[in-house]
Structure 1
Amino acid sequence: MLSDLGLECEILPVPHDHVASKNRFLYMNGEIHKLPSSLSGVVKTVPPFSSPIILSVMKEILVRKGKEEDESVHSFMSRRFGSELADIAMDCLCRGVFAGDSRKLSVRSCFLPLHRAEQDWGSVLLGLLLSGGGGGEKAGAGSMSALARRARAESWSQWSLTDGMQTLPDALQEALRGRERVELHHSTPVRTLTHTAGGWEIKLENGATLNADHVISALPASVLASLLPPAAAPLSHLLCEINTVSVGLVNLEYEGSVLPVTGFGHLIPSSVDKSVLGVVYDSVPFPQHNRRGEPTTRMTVMMGGAWFEETLGPPDEVKDQVLLDGALQAVRSHLNITSSPVWSRAAVLKNCIPQYHLGHWKRLEAMRQYISDHALPLTLTGASFNGVSVNDVIFSGRTAAEGLLGKL
């Protein structure tokens, strides 16, 4: 996509050997701990773990295969790798990726390669080794551009664009505007979707009405549910079962180099602090985004998620100053940064990350069966269904478009 949009020269890649790729941390027991990133870190005891991780991994081969159709991420990890890896490592990973609770999230929907490895091979370790990691489906989709081959060869762990990620949707919009058969209705909420004999009648908040043969909806599941006609109540009910969480984001900038460690950032287990999910050290992977002149340190503090209301209150009522105070306290406590930031910004991203709770896959099956049984010209895509990352939603959109083209 970046190649097609002419953005190759704008890309800022972070390869696998970059310090931001190799160094990832946890905050626990009042200290910052580096996660193992080499064999030596796996075979010896590395705090905050009480024994070598290799022992838990090797014992996993002997664990019997689970019989349940689905299982929480925490239960799965506890059963196969022990409570310590579940309580610390996987708890943090779920907070960092989904801002979610590993005790509620579905392993089948959130970490399908792990679930599939156990089901197919009886062991996660054996399954991932013998199946080549389980990530080949998306990687092999379609023809690979020269840029994609480069990214794979250099093992990019992350990337950004020279002027930030907003460049991507801006470029997409500009490219679509130039196409003769494309209409863009920017910042125009939909009021209702009505199924007609010819497809859909779409009423917009500005009073306009559009007609479509087929709708690909990338709306959040609950928003789409509110737009569907009463006749589609069973589908709306299923859509409403997909919960979301809100995240407080606080961006901080300090004069000079103030980080005691360098790397991607650190996460905090829910047992240590439910309110603060983690801190990303933005200036380490992308110093190009720093302001010109004297060096500065930028970081982003993530807060709330599945614990937002419990620790911060209703998202509509939380003041920016409350988020800022909490973020500054975390930075002081975790990183011993006592100076005041030269710039800061706080915001609440409401209902921004869908939560794939237990049974998510079954809900998706029921939705698609309903759409098929009722011959609805509707395709579901976006973060609510098959992955919450930028890569996931782009792939989901591409799959939706290709599926529709196959019917024409």
Structure 2
Amino acid sequence: MDSWTDIWATDHDNGCSPRRRELGGLAASYYLCKSPQVTKVVVLESSSRLGGWLWSTRRSDGAVFEHGPRGIRPAGAVGRNTLNMVEDLGLGGEILPVTYSHVASKNRYVYVNRRLHRMPSGMSGLLRTVPPFSRPLLLNIAGEILVRKGKGEDESIHSFVSRRLGKELADIAVDSLCRGVFAGDCRKLSVRSCFPALYHAEQRRGSLTLGMLLGSGPTAVVPPGPLAQRSVDESWAQWSLRRGVESLPESIGEYLRHSGRAELHREAAVQQISPSASGWKITLEDGVMSADHIISALPAKALSSILPSSSCQPLIQLLQDIATVTVAVVNLEYEGSVLPVQGFGHLLPSSEDRGLLGVVYDSVPFPQHNRPEGQTTRLTVMMGGAWFQEVFGDPAAVTEERLLATATEAVSRQLGVSSAPSWSRVTLQKDCIPQYYQGHYRRVESMRSFIRDKSLSLSLIGSSYDGVSVNDVIFSGRTAAEELLGSV
């Protein structure tokens, strides 16, 4: 790129919420700054901190609590990509791995009919009837091979799984899983966009089983670095960082500051962007900037509010069609060892409790985040999601006291914990998880077609479009950077 070229990676919330932004903007900036073609990258962040939903509290006594994502999966191309970044940033020594043989990986629970049930695992778990299921799951899997391929372009996750594996599995396991991953309703979420591997397995192999065994199509090629290779050799199921996952965006920020090519502007909320002869005019609270290209890591609706309605109305409407949900995250600390079981945690299907999504037993996978002195148990209760308004009402009106009381009562009732927590923190994550409803892939295709047809120098990245996981968001930043570098 010529010396006059500016790349503007916007990573902010337009003043809607103090924590509402993406890791994608930082990731895109990281990849851009690694290229000798780039002379300048500017990151605009409306709040005082970087990192989006990766948000860790580090208490003075050494305890660490996560208010967003906690364990990150190393699997697949996107997982290898993140570990390669972690290694490049010098964080390899901070990794806290959890292997597949760890109790947190082997034991995952669902709370059904007012009881905890360990989810079946291994061949023995598939061969016998394990409550709350009424028959061995192997029968569902064996019969799946004979099910005809669906004819529609898209389908809800619940419909897809019911058709291929049975309604009971969809009502209990898949309903709970979608609440844990997306805080969403599997009867509305798109299987094609939320679980593309399952959709393509059916389309290309005619069966989920055959698709998983034989592969269901091309995937991104990301060679593993030494850290990613170590994750394979040691069979990691997930990992975190010693000082919490917020260490990752903090380290990216440090990398950008020392790169000599990046400017990081905090508390710099964008009011409007509009096309100009040189690319874009960006209006801030305290002035105007120009840019050749914008990589937007904004949530879709936040981006829609700053685009010019005169020239971008079709794009604005498509962006506004992507819904989001609000999740209440309640961190609890109890004195002593209070769990009746050991595992990663438990989820609840919507038929059991619409407001309570699940409880993570944080001290089991990551005991290193407990305070060093004295035994404690750390838990995280997640509530609301697609059912927040129905159960708790307007997020702006709900009190922390009500959310805390609901969380502690659930821990008492479901885990038999009679004592009160010695420490707690309530965090309301407003509009934190986009919902990929049926037809989502078409909406995203239409957005990018509009951008191409209008020759807009704009890239859309982040969880609103191509995946909600930390790995997906980071990879979307890499993809946008590589596409931009390849076009000049």
Instruction: Give the TM-score taking structure 1 as reference length.
Output: 0.97
Unaligned ranges ≥5, structure 1: none
The structure 2 residue matched to 1:127, chosen from 211, 216, 235, is 211
- The alpha-carbon deviation at position 197 of structure 1 amounts to 1.4
Residue in 2 that maps onto 1:16: 100
Q: How does 1:2-401 map to 2 (within 5 A)?
A: 2-131=86-215, 137-138=219-220, 140-141=221-222, 143-205=223-285, 207-230=286-309, 231-401=311-481
> 1:21 Cα deviation (Å)?
0.9
Q: Secondary structure at the match of 1:137?
A: coil
1:280 partner letter: V
Report the residue type matching 2:190 in the other structure: S
Range that drifts further, 157-166 or 273-282: 157-166
Tell me the alpha carbon deviations over residues 120-155 of structure 1, each in whole angstroms, 9 at most, x when there is no partner: 111111111111x76x724x32x3210011112223
Distance 1:51 1:106 in 2: 27
**Which AA in structure 2 matches 1:215?**
I
1:9-44 Cα offsets, whole Å, 9 max, x none, are 111111111111111000011111111121000010
RMSD between superposed Cα atoms in Å: 1.0
Match of 2:67 in 1: none
Which amino acid letter does the alignment assign opposite residue 184 of structure 2? G
Partners in 2 of 1:261 and 1:184 — Cα distance? 45
| Same amino acid, percent of matched pairs | 59
Which deviates more from structure 2 when the two are superposed, residues 64-73 or residues 165-174?
165-174
Please give the per-residue CA displacement for 1:207-247, whole angstroms capped at 9, x wherever unaligned: 13221111111100000010111110100100000000000
- Runs of 4+ in structure 1 over 3 Å off: none
Aligned-partner Cα distance in 2 for 1:377–1:208:
21
Give the drift of 1:119.
Answer: 0.7
Q: TM-score with structure 2 length normalisation? A: 0.81
Q: Partners in 2 of 1:265 and 1:137 — Cα distance?
A: 31
Residue 137 of structure 1 aligns with an amino acid whose one-letter code is: T
1:14 alignment partner AA: V
Letter in 2 for 1:219: L
State the alpha-carbon separation in 2 of the partners of residues 402 and 148 from structure 1. 21
Tell me which amino acid in the other structure corresponds to 2:212: L
Could you tell me which amino acid in structure 2 is paired with residue 33 of structure 1?
H
Q: C-alpha distance in 1, partners of 2:454/2:291?
A: 17
* Distance in 1, Cα, partners of 2:210 & 2:93: 40
In structure 2, C-alpha distance between the alignment counterparts of 1:312 and 1:154, rounded to whole Å: 43
SS in 1 for 2:135: coil
Q: Secondary structure at the match of 1:2?
A: helix
Secondary structure of the corresponding residue to residue 348 of structure 1: strand
1:271 and 1:111 map into 2 onto residues whose CA distance is 22
State the match for 2:485 in structure 1.
405
Distance of 1:74 and 1:3 partners within structure 2: 38
If asked which structure has higher relative contact order (CA below 8 Å, sep 6+), I would say: 2
Deviation of the 1:366 alpha carbon: 0.4
Structure 2, unmatched stretches of 5+, are 1-84
